[in-house]
Structure 1
């Protein structure tokens, strides 16, 4: 029997709050409520720092947290990438690179979740994230890319307040855009070639004679 994790803890709730805040921030961007959008974006970024810190300090790290945390980041990034591109605050070509990478990773995540889910494979069990089946380990370049993307998104959101700086601000923003384009492509390739990015968890199995193994062996590796 696959053991269930206790997923209802403060770090995971903070992560879920970031997930829920994402469409609100996107709506504020579309409504050109730049100050409110930037403030809520900063708060969402703070939860990203706090949830990981608390999970490590209180030993509340879970498999579902390893999946939901990057999912929340990518949901926030996807919504803001689209809304900022729609408002002309982010180049369309860069938005295409960011979204293309994330769509590829999302398809891969769906695939690995399905193949790693122990039988019986049902949709109810598939969406039950308290049933761990695979762990996602972000690569080093992916972590750097996430930080740079969030920095660029914040800069794009702050652009209406920074235009008075003139050409210097525009050059700095353009440099950030090309840097993020490079790290986005690089990080996507790192998941393809890294052997440790996705780890499928081994599940308890019955012994060859049909009897259950000893209790000491009834644990996930």
Structure 2
């Protein structure tokens, strides 16, 4: 039996909420070129992403809302960091377009699935009441890897200006080439990740009362 409401005030969900809140702060720090502060907060978001998932599995604190806001926090972090890094010229524009375009399409899909799966009455207040479970998201395998690759790439781009000052000037071209190659790889996995949601039959499960 699917409960009409579920407990959303769990430790994993609270950690996820701190990640949601920290995302715009990280973007602001990137725009202000606060390299180590932005990297530190980004590292916090990455670590808590692992911790909240571990706690949810270990102590049976999984929830429908957690399955939604956890990838939402990941995507918000990636979208904000990608946009800010592109604005300051730290990330190639083509890669920013791929990442933001893919996440934009997934966001529209999430809005659609939330609406069609929400039990009646379909009111505005109930739509945004995430304690009412309606659909559950199951990230595809390539999507999980892509999230990791994006986090590593974005973290590297955040600290690259500081990294370059610490290495031999002769090594800088190699570092730049490495970032370019890894960026192209991230772009490819991002495209494959988006396609995996289109062709997977198990990525979204609509929950219905029985």
Matched residue, 1:203: 209
Matched residue, 2:177: 171
Q: CA deviation at 1:162?
A: 2.1
Structure 1 stretch 6-15 or stretch 166-175: which is displaced more?
166-175
Matched residue, 1:112: 113
Alpha-carbon distance between aligned partners in 2 of 1:151 and 1:2, rounded to the nearest angstrom: 38
Give the one of 184, 197, 211 matched to 2:190. Answer: 184
Alpha-carbon distance between aligned partners in 2 of 1:133 and 1:127, rounded to the nearest angstrom: 11
2:14 is aligned with 1:13: yes
Give the structure with higher Rg (CA): 1
For the Cα contact (< 8 Å) 1:134–1:198, is it kept in 2? yes
Q: CA deviation at 1:3?
A: 1.8
Matched residue, 1:79: 80
For residues 138-161 of structure 1, the C-alpha deviation after alignment (integer angstroms, 9 at most, x for no partner) is: 000000000000010001001102
Alpha-carbon distance between aligned partners in 1 of 2:183 and 2:79, rounded to the nearest angstrom: 16
Higher relative contact order (CA 8 A, sep 6+): 2
User: How many aligned residue pairs are there?
Assistant: 204
2:1 is aligned with 1:23: no
Coordinate RMSD, CA, aligned? 1.0
Alpha-carbon distance between aligned partners in 1 of 2:201 and 2:35, rounded to the nearest angstrom: 41
2:126 is aligned with 1:125: yes
For the Cα contact (< 8 Å) 1:162–1:169, is it kept in 2? no
Alpha-carbon distance between aligned partners in 1 of 2:102 and 2:38, rounded to the nearest angstrom: 25
Structure 1's consecutive aligned runs of 4 or more residues displaced over 6 angstroms after TM superposition are: none
| Higher fraction of helix | 2
For the Cα contact (< 8 Å) 1:64–1:130, is it kept in 2? yes
SS at match of 1:199: strand
Matched residue, 2:61: 60
Matched residue, 2:159: 158
Alpha-carbon distance between aligned partners in 2 of 1:147 and 1:179, rounded to the nearest angstrom: 12
Provide structure 1 residue ranges, at least 5 long, that are not aligned to the other structure: 205-221
For residues 28-54 of structure 1, the C-alpha deviation after alignment (integer angstroms, 9 at most, x for no partner) is: 001110010001100111110000000
Q: CA deviation at 1:2?
A: 5.2
SS at match of 1:32: coil
